[in-house]
Amino acid sequence: AYEKFQAEIETLSAQADVLSLKSSYLGKKGAVSEILKSLKDATPEERKEIGPKANEIKQEIEKLVAKKLSDIELAQINEKLSKNKIDITFTDAVKAKNNNHGGFHPRTLVQQEVEDIFLSMGFEVLDGPHIETEFYNFEALNIPGDHPARDMQDTFWFKDEKSPEGNKHLLRTHTSTIQVRGMQSRKPPFRFIAPGTVFRCERTDASHEMVFQQLEGMMVGKDISVSNLIYFMKEILTEIFKKDVEVRLRPGYFPFVEPGFELDIKCQVCSGKGCSVCKQVGWVELLPCGMVHPNVLRAGGIDPEEYNGFAFGLGLDRLVMMKYGIDDIRHLQSGDLRFNSQFKEY
């Protein structure tokens, strides 16, 4: 009877079924009770043998029933828990959907992308001060005090009569200041980039800001050529745009390079048809560059007889505009969340 009970209880999963099985064995008319009842007609020897066995079976059945009931209860609790489980990542996903989180500014996104590309090509990333001396911003770059090229970049000067003549302070007008700083602290061959904010006392329009970003690049070594320069420029544009974009290279004048070039990009806002960003000409000045002038190498403590190099000054805001088709540079500085939130990555 006990083996039969064991097999039967195994198949049950509801408490009520277990209880009714129990009563069919231990209840008034149950199998075990019948055995115990029949003892009154048994001989004393039979009673001695069957009595304790029947009681043992009764206890075993009670034990099995208690265990089964507690197993069923545990299974029920576990099922409840798994149904009401709190998924913490799910809460984050809901937040993301509601767009209540922050995101990177498009300028940061593009700058990080450009930095990654140059890092993968063995360039270092350098930084430099916003407040500069006349020396690093002009003189060391082959632009002496009376040079007309100083007028190419309208400069914010500090009123500091105490500084010696030729070393007055200013807000850097370009990241080229880091060219000489970088050269002074390393030995060739080397290659680095230097992203940063620059300042010019300019009238703003769709493609000009007073405070904007540039990304300087410099490579110095032996026998570096214009084709090396063009290779790196092409590489960076292909990586950033991930499609063919039309560019043109034309001669450009900068006192710190010789020869110098202007690399223009077909305006991506109007596809070259003409708009306020490209001033109706269909092309945007993006990436001036050239071979480093011997005087600049000298200012950085490098012998131009032994080494040469190239440098470039990427207009980072313009690159952002071209990549995303932004039709006014002033959006970048606006702090307008309707603009900024368009660049969140989900």
Nearer to ligand FA5, 57 or 289 (CB): 289
Q: How far is the CB of 96 from ligand FA5 (least distance, A)?
A: 33
Compute the distance between CA of residue 294 and CA of residue 298 in angstroms, rounded to an integer. 6
Q: Do 191 and 219 meet the contact criterion of CB atoms below 8 Å apart?
A: yes
> Is 200 a binder of ligand FA5 (CB under 6 A)?
yes
Read off the tokens for 297: 């190498």
The length of the chain is 346
Q: How far is the CB of 97 from ligand FA5 (least distance, A)?
A: 36
Q: Interface residues for ligand FA5 in 60-89 (CB under 6 A)?
A: none
Contacts of 185 (CB under 8 A, 6+ apart): none
Q: Which of 94, 122, 10, 2 is nearest to 54 (CA)?
A: 2
Choose which of 176, 268, 295, 308 interacts with ligand FA5 (CB under 6 A). 176
Compute the distance between CA of residue 45 and CA of residue 50 in angstroms, rounded to an integer. 9
Reduce the DSSP state of residue 116 to 3 states and report it. Answer: helix
Nearer to ligand FA5, 2 or 253 (CB): 253
Nearer to ligand FA5, 2 or 241 (CB): 241
Nearer to ligand FA5, 57 or 257 (CB): 257
> Is 132 a binder of ligand FA5 (CB under 6 A)?
no
- DSSP designation for 300: T
Nearer to ligand FA5, 30 or 315 (CB): 315
Reduce the DSSP state of residue 176 to 3 states and report it. Answer: coil
Read off the tokens for 143: 């632009």
> Is 196 a binder of ligand FA5 (CB under 6 A)?
no
> Is 293 a binder of ligand FA5 (CB under 6 A)?
no
Interface residues with ligand FA5 (CB under 6 A) are: 153, 174, 176, 200, 202, 208-209, 212, 214, 254, 257, 260, 285-286, 288-290, 311-313, 315, 317-318, 329
